[in-house]
Structures are given as C-alpha cells and as structure tokens.
C-alpha cells in the first residue's frame, strides 16, 4: 500500500520547477506527485521508497527539502529578497536622471549596489537553473541568469577596458542586471500570491473540518481533538455546531446544512439511523452520533483528496504546451545568440546595442506562462465545481466532457428517481406467500429496484431461508431454499416469459420450481430537472441517448417525453459496454449512470458521471461525481467544464502569442532589457489572472462551445 509523504521544499518558483520535480521522480518510478507552488509543498505517494529516500531525490535537484510534520514557519525569503533588491535597485535607476558628476554615477557605487542583488538572484535562481540543465530540461531561471550575468560582466569589462573616465558611463549597465532580477522577484511574488488564489477551494474545504469534538465517555461529555476520535465513539452535536466527522445518528433529530459538501442549498432533515457528513452544519436540534470512519477516510477528506489530485491526469491540450516548453529555453538561447550576431555583423549595430537586444530576448521570453496556462485554470475550475457539489477527478475529464458529442443516460436512478412503487401484483397460485418470497429474495439484491421493493414489502418479512442464492446482474435472482424449492425472480427474458400482452403491463416475474406464480408491475417517476437537462444538451447539438436495461415500451415512452434522440432498451451490462465502445470509436462519449450494472459502461466511456448516493463501484468508475441527486448539477458541471476549457485555450493563446510577438520586438531593439523583464513578469500574471477570473465569471447555459 502506498504511503503519502509531505515535504516543505524551498526554491519552487514556477511551473517549470514543478515539471522538473515530477519528471525527476518519474524516473524513479514515482508517478503520483502533487506540488503546491504557493505553499512550497510537495506530496509524494509511493510504496517503493522511504521518506528519507524521497527527500534525497528532491534535494538532488538542488531544493532544500524537509519532511513536513507540523505547521511550518512561513517562508518569507522571497519577500526579503524582493524588498532588499528594490532598495538597492532604486538608486541604480536614479543615476539615469542625474548629471555625470553626481555620486550615483560612480562605477564603484553602482557595482556595490548591483552585486548584492546579483548574489540574491544567484541564490534564488542558480541552483534550480544548474539542476535543470543537468536534467536536460533548462527552465526560465537559465534565461534570467544568462541575461543578468551578461549585463553585469559587460559592465565590469567595459569599466576595466575603457581608456578614460568619460567613456566608462557608456559601458555601465549595472542597473539593467539589478532591475531584471528585481522585476523577476516581483513577478514571482505576485505569481505566488495569485496561484494561492487558484488553490483557495482546497483551503475552503479544509476549513470546514472541525478541530475539536464533544465525546461521551462513561456518561461524561469531554472535549477532545478530532484526531483522537475512533470508530464507534459517541459524539454529542448541538445546534450551531459543525459535524466533526462522518457519523450515524443514534438519538435525536436535526436539520443540517449540507451545501458546503453537496452544493444543495435546501437544509436536510435527519433522524435516527441516518448518516451525517463531517463538515456540515447543524442548524436545528441536538443529536447523539456514532463515529463511522477515521479522519483520513471521511467524505470531506476524500473530496479534498480528489480536488487536490485533479491535476494528476491533465487535459490533452496541455501536452502541446509541455512539448513546446521542453524545447523553448534552448531555442530562446539560440535566438538570442543569432540576434547578437545578426545585429552586430549583418545590421552593423554597435556592440553595446547588439548585446542589449540579445539580453532583452533572453529576459522577455516566458516559458512559465505556457506551463501555468492549464494547471491554474484546472485548479480554479475544479474548485468552483466543488463549491457547487460537483467532484471532478481529473483535468482530462474537463476537456473531454466539454468536447463530448454523445451524452448517454441510464434510466433508473438517473433520469427517474429510482424510487419504485408496486402498482399491481398478479398471482396465479395463492398457495405461496408471494410478497414474503419477493421480500426475502430482493433483500439480497443490489439493484435500485430491489431497494424500493424491500421498502414497500417490509411488513412481509418471513423466516424463509435460502441455501443458495445467485444474482445475475441486470437480469434477476435465482435461489434454492432448505426444502429444495427453486426460485427465479427477474425480467421476462430471465424468467422466459414471452407473452407480449403480459410483458407490456408487468416487468418482473416470479417462478417457483419452473412454475410461473406471480407478476409484478412497478412504476417510477421522472426525476426533477430531467427534461431541462436533456433540452440543454439538445440545444448544445449533443446527441442524447437512453441506454437502459428496462423494457422497450417504458424506455421509448420516457425518451419521447424527454425528447431524447436515440433509445436502446433491454440492454444487459455487456450490451451497454458494446454500445459505449462502438460510440467511443468515432465520438467523444459521456455516460451518466448510478448502478452496479452501469459501472463497466462508465469506465469504458470517455467520461463517466455518477451520483454520490450511487453504488460504490459506480462512484469509483466515474470521472465526475455529482454530490447531490439533482440533475441540474449535470448541466452545471458541463457549463463549468466548458468555461474551464475555454479559459485554458485563452491562456495558451496568450502565452504563445506573447512569445511570438515579444521575442522579435526584443530582437529588433524595440524593447530594452528592463521593459522586457517587466513584460515577462506581466505575462505570467495575465495567465493566472484569467484563470482566477473563472472563479467569478457568470456561468450559465449560454456558455460557448
């Protein structure tokens, strides 16, 4: 079993650092790595290495790394460097506005002011730059250090080689080296703060977790940290308090606000034997609860974990940015060298200006914007979805759902509410306790229909005991009792009923020793919002499909009422898989279902969507989980995915367009190195800001495709 290790890592400045760490650990066969740039945290899940071995792997890349166990002191090193470099750079820039005899023009003073800034830049960027080169993945730090070192060395050499003091000022560009580093520090600072906003959803979810609980021990109520709670502990929760951990009510009743978990604003009434979710708020009442799980396996913990891991499977569109980023830095260095040579020899620009243009090319290029384009948008989109009770398990699901061409619905529990009622029971043999037999058989089944029948026939419990019982998924049950009687209960196909008049009115049939003894007619009602959500996808030019194991007549009636375009009835689990596979060959396909028999189909679709109250296997097979049962959450999920994918495309367009336009302008001398450093920092902020905008954007059914 994999163990999770959490590390505090100093020196993570940009998304290229993240890719470098992930790439290095992947070579060690560690694939599950999560990096939080804003907090400088790296989480690694592995069963192959100890925490110390993983720490050394990360440290080999040049990052100061320590295992994170308690709340660490906030790292303000970047802020310290920024303030110091600003104080040193302002006098350097001031020399541009005074006459040649002013003390600020003194070369010794300028070098004394610039050198500490350069050293801070080396300390902050050089280790990462060196190790990125060693791992054949040069990053932005390499470009910054080449540019600033070139400006510094040119100033020193020009000063040494100049023939008289009047000429010295023509060769001094100490302010260029210092200002570039200062502006990059400033950009990193704003980037760090901005990225923190893209991960605010995780912080908001973590704040829902109570720190303490009131536990009943030997008739006394004591306060304790929630980390001390164990399964079966008894808790007392009063009005106005949040539920500390997932529990079952054993006394009392209450009204609970579950909006922070499910996105459903209407309070929910809970009573004895019902479950309450950790992090939800008790609006009215007092309850005694029994703890159901440990802290690591609560619903809230699992949601936080899924939101945190959403970037682990990135959208396909990110691959374009990653491929270009791998070749970007070597290409920029080559362009800078060509810029210098062409300006100096072909265009006959003087040495000084040619060098400045080459430095501007190095500094203005921004691989970070391409790296940040996708993950920042994914984190904001996933966070916004979580606030609406929608759990998106991967970045890939965002792209695929937004681009899906076929939306395939299961019927029972998805488009209908899954609560069935017995309309009629037709009996051919009154010698058997039909209701009791059906109850005893169905209590062993997992299909949603079985749960409804058990609830409806609860008064007919009996002492009937089965020696063997088998459930055939999507068909029915067969059993043998202690007296040797054989039972079959299920669909017409399963029980071999071929009377069309009978099967048009009844859906389930009971046979005892091969004799048909009863038929059951059941009805279920359409789920609220079903018509609106199907209409939404039809308006988006998506093909809507009903794929169900139910009778053809019932499926066609529902499809007609909802205006679903294609219908497939009487589908067994294997039939559903084949239909999904055939669709997926030519179209991006999304399947929505909630039963055990839907799980394989959910897994074979490009995007599987299920509900939190669905069967565990369906939830695990789905790539998007709706935490409440309302179908309007499905429409909201599609709207959020569509807008998130649009934001990713906008970010990548800006990142590519910026570099395509900015690098030639710098090469032609239209941008000085200082302006280039400012625009480079600005480019990252545009991408991050556009992602943050997704958090406040008005998302509705008019969202673009």
Active-site residues, by number, are 410
Going by DSSP bridges, is the β-strand pair 543-547/566-568 parallel, antiparallel, or unpaired? parallel
CA distance 400 to 410: 19
Q: For residue 161, report the phi and psi dihedrals to the nearest 5 degrees.
A: -85, -10
Phi, psi at residue 395, to the nearest 5°? -65, -30
| Two tokens, residue 164 | 């008289």
DSSP H helical ranges for 28-94: 51-59, 77-94
Which tokens sit at 656? 């590519």
Residues 391 and 163: their CA atoms lie apart, in Å, by: 70
Residue with tokens 């998805």: 414
What's the full length of the chain, in residues?
705
Query: Which residues share a beta bridge with 391?
Result: 625
Residue 267: burial class (beta carbons within 10 Å; 0-12, 13-18, 19+) = middle
Q: What distance in Å separates the CA atoms of residue 208 and residue 243, rounded to the nearest whole number?
A: 9
Pairwise CA distance, residues 487 & 413, whole Å = 27
Q: Which residues contact 447 (CB under 8 A, 6 or more apart)?
A: 595, 596, 597
Distance CA 324, CA 141 (A): 17
- Could you give the CA distance from residue 195 to residue 14 in angstroms, rounded to a whole number? 10
Are 622 and 609 contacting, i.e. CB atoms less than 8 angstroms apart? yes
Helix (H, G, I), strand (E, B) or coil at 503: helix
Dist. CA 340–CA 346, nearest whole Å? 10
E strand residue ranges, 327-436 = 390-392, 406-409, 421-427
Strand 486-490 with 589-592, pairing: unpaired
The Cα–Cα gap between 381 and 643 comes to 8
**CA 19 – CA 132 distance, rounded (Å):** 10
All residues at 6 or more sequence positions from 625 whose CB lies less than 8 Å from its CB, including other chains:
390, 391, 393, 609, 610, 611, 612, 619
DSSP 295-322: GGGSHHHHHHHHHHGGGGS--TTHHHHH
Helix (H) or strand (E) holding 480: strand 476-481
402 vs 646: CA distance, rounded Å: 9
Sequence-separated (6 or more) residues with CB below 8 Å from residue 275:
246, 247, 248, 249, 292
Place of tokens 């290495």: 49
Please tell me what DSSP assigns to residue 342.
I
Query: SS3 of 568, please?
Result: strand
The phi, psi pair for 252, rounded to 5°, reads 90, 180
DSSP-derived pairing of the beta strands 607-611 and 624-626: parallel
Residue 371 near residue 14, CB atoms below 8 Å:
yes
Q: How far apart are CA 176 and CA 192, in angstroms?
A: 24
Helix, strand, coil shares of the chain, percent, nearest 5, are 50, 20, 30
Tokens of 553: 């007549």
């Amino acid at each position: 079993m994999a163990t999770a290790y959490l590390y505090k890592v100093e020196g993570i400045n940009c998304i290229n650092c993240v890719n470098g760490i992930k790439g290095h650990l992947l070579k060690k066969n560690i694939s599950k790595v999560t990096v939080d740039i804003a907090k400088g945290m790296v989480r690694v899940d592995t069963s192959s290495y100890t925490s110390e071995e993983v720490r050394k792997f990360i440290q080999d890349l040049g990052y100061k790394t320590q295992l994170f166990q308690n709340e660490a002191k906030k790292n303000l090193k970047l802020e310290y460097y920024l303030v110091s470099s600003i104080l040193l750079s302002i006098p350097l820039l001031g020399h541009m506005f005074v006459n040649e005899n002013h003390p600020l023009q003194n070369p010794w003073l300028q070098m004394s002011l610039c050198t500490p800034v350069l050293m801070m830049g080396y300390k902050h960027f050089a280790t990462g730059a060196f190790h990125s080169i060693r791992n054949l993945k040069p990053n932005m730090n390499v470009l910054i250090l080449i540019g600033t070192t070139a400006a510094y060395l040119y100033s020193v050499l020009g000063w040494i080689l100049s023939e008289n003091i009047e000429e010295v000022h023509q060769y001094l560009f100490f302010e260029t080296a210092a200002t570039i580093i200062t502006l990059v520090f400033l950009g990193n600072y704003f980037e760090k703060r901005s990225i923190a906003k893209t991960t605010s959803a995780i912080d908001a979810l973590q704040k829902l977790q109570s720190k303490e609980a009131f536990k009943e021990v030997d008739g006394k109520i004591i306060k304790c940290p929630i980390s001390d709670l164990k399964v079966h502990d008894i808790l007392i929760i009063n009005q106005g308090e949040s539920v500390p951990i997932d529990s079952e009510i054993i006394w009392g009743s209450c009204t609970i606000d579950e909006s922070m978990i499910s996105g459903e604003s209407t309070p929910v009434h809970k009573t004895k034997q019902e479950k309450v979710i950790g992090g939800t708020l008790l609006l009215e009442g007092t309850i005694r609860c029994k703890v159901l799980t440990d802290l690591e396996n609560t619903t809230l913990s699992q949601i936080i974990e899924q939101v945190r891991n959403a970037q682990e499977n990135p959208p396909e569109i990110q691959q374009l940015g990653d491929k270009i980023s791998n070749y970007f830095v070597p290409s920029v260095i080559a362009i800078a060298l060509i810029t210098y040579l062409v300006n100096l020899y072909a265009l006959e620009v003087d040495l000084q200006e040619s060098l400045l243009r080459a430095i501007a090319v190095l500094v203005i290029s921004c691989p970070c914007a391409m790296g940040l384009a996708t993950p920042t948008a994914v984190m904001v989109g996933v966070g916004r979805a979580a606030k609406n009770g929608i759990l998106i398990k991967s970045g890939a699901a965002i792209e695929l759902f937004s681009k899906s061409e076929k939306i395939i619905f299961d019927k029972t529990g998805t488009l209908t509410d899954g609560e069935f009622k017995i309309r009629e029971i037709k009996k051919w043999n009154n010698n058997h306790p039909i209701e009791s037999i059906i109850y005893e058989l169905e209590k062993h089944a997992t299909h949603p229909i079985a749960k409804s029948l058990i609830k409806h026939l609860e008064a007919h419990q009996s002492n009937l005991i089965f020696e063997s019982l088998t459930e055939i998924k999507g068909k029915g049950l067969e059993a043998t009792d202690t007296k040797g009687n054989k039972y079959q209960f299920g669909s017409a196909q399963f029980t071999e009923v071929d009377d069309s008049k009978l099967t048009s009115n009844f859906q389930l049939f009971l046979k005892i020793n091969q004799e048909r003894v009863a038929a059951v007619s059941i009805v279920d009602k359409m789920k609220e919002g079903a018509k609106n959500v199907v209409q939404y996808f039809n308006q988006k030019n998506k093909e809507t499909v009903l794929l169900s194991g139910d009778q053809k007549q019932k499926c066609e009636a529902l499809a007609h009422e909802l205006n679903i375009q294609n219908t497939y009835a009487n589908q067994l689990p294997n039939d559903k898989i084949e239909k999904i596979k055939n669709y997926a060959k030519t179209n991006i396909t999304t399947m929505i279902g909630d039963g055990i028999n839907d799980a394989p189909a959910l897994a074979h679709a490009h995007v599987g969507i299920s509900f939190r109250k669905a069967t565990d296997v369906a939830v695990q097979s789905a790539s998007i989980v709706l935490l409440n049962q309302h179908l309007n959450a499905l429409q909201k999920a599609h709207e959020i995915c569509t807008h998130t994918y649009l934001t990713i495309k906008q970010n990548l367009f800006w990142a590519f367009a910026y570099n395509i336009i900015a690098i030639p302008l710098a090469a032609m001398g239209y941008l000085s190195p200082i302006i280039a450093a400012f625009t480079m920092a600005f480019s990252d902020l545009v991408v991050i800001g556009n992602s943050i905008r997704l958090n406040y954007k008005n998302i509705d059914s008019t969202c673009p495709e």
